[in-house]
Amino acid sequence: MARDVQFVRRFFRRACLSVLLVLVFSAPAPAPLRAPAFALEHGSAAALETLTIVTDPKGPHPVDHGLSVEVMRTEAEREHGLMGRRYLPPDRGMLFQFDSERSIMMWMKDTYIPLDMIFISRAGVVTHIHENAEPLSEAVIPSYGPVLGVLEVNAGYARQIGLKPGDLVRHDMFKP
């Protein structure tokens, strides 16, 4: 009788293994990878780049503040920006890169997140900071001089890190 039990167990194990193999190899191919739902709902799935803000660069204790940023390089990307988004992670931002250094006008149309806008020269020097831009406003926010880029971060971030005009931004687009 013990042999019969061993035979049944062996037979059952082999049958289960066979069924499992059939299921695994007959399953449809997995769907292609897509951006996570969170990224689509709360932000772009665009590649992130590293940017560093250096506060008090000429002082005795300069401090580096790292961010991951989406870089908007084309006219279409710059026009859309953060429009429609409801969330920006605290360690993220959006960097607008312009074709040449010039006076820039920004606004908050269809942008739900209160933002700080940091205007940056070709050399990576912060020239102007507009804190706490009002969501959904169509009021124009000027750069007050020529800039090559504008960094948008969550409102309050500039004050939190002690950012001021003259501080530095390090990213491949700026040439010190």
Write the pLDDT tens digit of every residue in 7-17: 556 665 665 54
Residue 74: partners with Cβ closer than 8 Å, 6 or more residues away = none
pLDDT of residue 27: 47
- Band (pLDDT 50/70/90 cuts) for residue 41 is very low
Q: Cβ atoms within 10 A of the Cβ of 129, count? A: 16
The mean pLDDT of 121-148, rounded to a whole number, is 98
Report the pLDDT averaged over residues 35-63: 75
Q: Residue 46: its pLDDT value, please? A: 65
pLDDT at 38 (0 to 100): 38
Mean pLDDT of the chain: 84
- Band of residue 176 on the pLDDT scale cut at 50, 70, 90: confident
Please report which confidence band the pLDDT of residue 74 belongs to, taking 50, 70 and 90 as the band edges: very high
Phi, psi of 117 (to 5 degrees): -110, 125
Candidates 38, 45, 74, 70; CA nearest to 171 is: 70
List pLDDT tens digits, range 96-134: 999 999 999 999 999 999 999 999 999 999 999 999 999
| Longest pairwise C-alpha distance within the chain | 94
**pLDDT above 70 coverage of the chain, percent:** 74
Digit-coded pLDDT (tens) for 20-40 = 444 445 544 443 333 333 343
- d(CA 87, CA 84) in angstroms, rounded, equals 9
Residue ranges of domains in the chain, CATH in brackets: 37-170 (2.60.120.1140)
